[in-house]
């Protein structure tokens, strides 16, 4: 149900601090994260191998974490380094915790929950806008109680903006007009949509406050497997080049929590008026408002699936605008099938991830 050999966002940089441990369930796996003394992040299975207490209930001491139940302490490689309730502090061989490759990049902590030998930081999506000095940006998180692919469908078929987001991102013009182009790669789909020569929708009308004529609205959604997306979206006066208008790069990265719940990491990055924090907070508020509208409709869809997580098994009607999402689903299914055919050669369930140098 998930592509495991892929990088996913585990947390925003700002969510994992030097103060204590942070826990989140990712791809069905409880994960505890904390920072070493040098500030770099560590991620490991959030379950003590002794009596399965969550390690996130314990204490971070330097580069180690101590279980809250009987005090076993684990290093940042997952090795038990202290077992204080045992005679002579004896450490059983199986007292290890699985750790996961993590890389901190662009103000996000990326995690790899698949075969650790295949974790290549070069494969992390290039979202440079989120820590570039010429850009301003911020990020947020929503938990959506729906399968992650329902959200992928939602984000790759932006015809819904005229209906779900009629009060902020839609108007009658965008419901009628749009030209699209879909480009499919080995692990990617790009869906480009342009709506020409219409009044700006409410959010862009507010953002483009020194212009009130008709605009061309573009929305180029870049999807990469597992489920990471970035939307190049903006408006420009009708017929003008994009550089004559204003734009944001909206982050829409989905990390499955379970089969029917998803961490939705969203963000806004902008280069126009990048010295004005009010512009960033305007977009963060607008996006949070809009994505709560998506959350409501997609959770309602999930509830109508009555326990099923794969909508394609339920024979939905297919519209032309579903094309990009169906391509993405095909890629996901192909990657899952490949992983099932080539499982990692790993007979130690508590394997330790290879060291990957974290970036700050
Ligand atoms: S459950 Fe962790 S030390 Fe006992
Ligand atoms: Fe939406």
- Does residue 330 have its Cβ closer than 6 Å to ligand 1? no
Q: Identify the nearest ligand to the CA of 58 by its number.
A: 1
pLDDT at 175: 76
Gap between the Cα atoms of 10 and 160, Å rounded: 28
pLDDT at 360: 39
pLDDT at 31: 98
Residue-wise burial string across 238-262, b where 16 or more C-beta atoms lie within 10 A, e elsewhere: eeeeeeebbbbbbbbbbbbbbbbbb
* 34 in Cβ contact with 65 (< 8 Å): yes
Q: What is the CATH number of the domain that holds 91?
A: 2.102.10.10
Number of domains in the chain: 2
* 33 in Cβ contact with 16 (< 8 Å): yes
pLDDT at 356: 55
- Does residue 72 have its Cβ closer than 6 Å to ligand 1? yes
* Domain end position, chosen among 72, 103, 123: 123
Examine the domain organization and report whether 98 and 187 are in the same domain: no
Neighbours of 172 (CB within 10 A): 11
pLDDT at 307: 87
In a structure prediction context, what are the per-residue pLDDT tens digits for the chain, which is 360 residues long?
A: 899 999 999 999 999 999 999 999 999 999 999 999 999 999 999 999 999 999 999 999 999 999 999 999 999 999 999 999 999 889 999 999 999 999 999 999 999 999 999 999 999 999 999 999 999 999 999 999 999 999 999 999 999 999 999 999 998 888 777 789 999 999 999 999 999 999 999 999 999 988 999 999 999 999 999 999 999 999 999 999 999 999 999 999 999 999 999 999 999 999 999 999 999 999 999 999 999 999 999 999 999 998 899 999 999 999 989 999 999 999 999 999 999 998 776 544 444 455 454 453
- Does residue 175 have its Cβ closer than 6 Å to ligand 1? no
Structural domain including 116 reads 7-123
Q: What is the CATH number of the domain that holds 166?
A: 3.90.380.10
Phi, psi of 330 (to 5 degrees): -65, -40
- Residue 349 neighbours by CB under 8 Å, 6+ apart: 98
Examine the domain organization and report whether 74 and 146 are in the same domain: no
- Does residue 70 have its Cβ closer than 6 Å to ligand 1? yes
- Does residue 69 have its Cβ closer than 6 Å to ligand 1? yes
- Does residue 48 have its Cβ closer than 6 Å to ligand 1? yes
pLDDT at 172: 86
pLDDT at 348: 44
Examine the domain organization and report whether 155 and 70 are in the same domain: no
Residue among 45, 40, 70 nearest 56 (CA): 45
Q: Identify the nearest ligand to the CA of 65 by its number.
A: 1
Q: To test ligand 1's pocket by mutation, which of 72, 90, 95 has the most ligand atoms within 8 angstroms of CB?
A: 72
Examine the domain organization and report whether 204 and 286 are in the same domain: yes
Examine the domain organization and report whether 81 and 144 are in the same domain: no
User: Which residue, judged by its Cα, is nearest atom 1 of ligand 1?
Assistant: 51
Examine the domain organization and report whether 92 and 181 are in the same domain: no
Examine the domain organization and report whether 228 and 332 are in the same domain: yes
């Amino acid at each position: 149900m998930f592509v495991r050999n892929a990088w996913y966002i585990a947390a925003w940089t700002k969510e994992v601090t030097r103060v204590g441990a942070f826990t989140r369930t990712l791809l069905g796996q409880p994960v505890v994260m904390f920072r070493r003394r040098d500030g770099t992040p560590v991620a490991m299975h959030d379950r003590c191998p002794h009596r399965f207490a969550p390690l996130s209930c314990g204490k971070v001491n330097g580069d180690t974490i101590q279980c809250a139940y009987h005090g076993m302490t684990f290093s940042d490689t997952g090795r038990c380094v202290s077992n204080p309730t045992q005679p002579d502090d004896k450490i059983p061989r199986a007292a290890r915790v699985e750790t996961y490759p993590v890389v901190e990049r662009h103000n996000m902590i990326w995690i790899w929950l698949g075969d650790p030998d295949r974790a290549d930081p070069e494969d992390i999506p290039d979202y440079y806008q989120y820590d570039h000095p010429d850009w301003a940006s911020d990020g947020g998180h929503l938990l959506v109680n729906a399968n992650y692919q329902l959200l992928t469908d939602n984000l790759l078929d932006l015809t819904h903006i005229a209906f779900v987001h009629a009060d902020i991102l839609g108007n009658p013009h965008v419901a009628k007009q749009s030209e699209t182009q879909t480009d499919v790669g080995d692990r990617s789909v790009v869906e480009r949509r342009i709506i020409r020569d219409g009044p700006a929708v409410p959010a862009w009308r507010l953002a483009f406050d020194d212009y009130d004529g008709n605009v061309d609205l573009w929305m180029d959604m870049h999807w990469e497997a597992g489920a990471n997306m970035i939307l190049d979206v903006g408006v420009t006066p009708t017929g003008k080049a994009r550089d004559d208008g204003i734009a944001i790069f909206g982050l829409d990265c989905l990390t499955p929590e379970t089969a029917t719940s998803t961490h939705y990491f969203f963000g806004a990055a902008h280069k126009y008026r990048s010295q004005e924090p009010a512009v960033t907070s305007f977009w963060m508020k607008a996006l949070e408002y809009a994505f709560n509208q998506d959350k409501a409709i997609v959770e309602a869809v999930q509830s109508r699936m009555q326990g099923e997580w794969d909508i394609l098994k339920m024979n939905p009607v297919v519209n032309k605008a579903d094309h990009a999402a169906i391509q993405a689903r095909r890629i996901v299914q192909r990657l899952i099938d490949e992983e099932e055919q080539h499982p990692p050669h790993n007979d130690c369930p508590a394997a330790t991830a290879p060291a990957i140098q974290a970036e700050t």
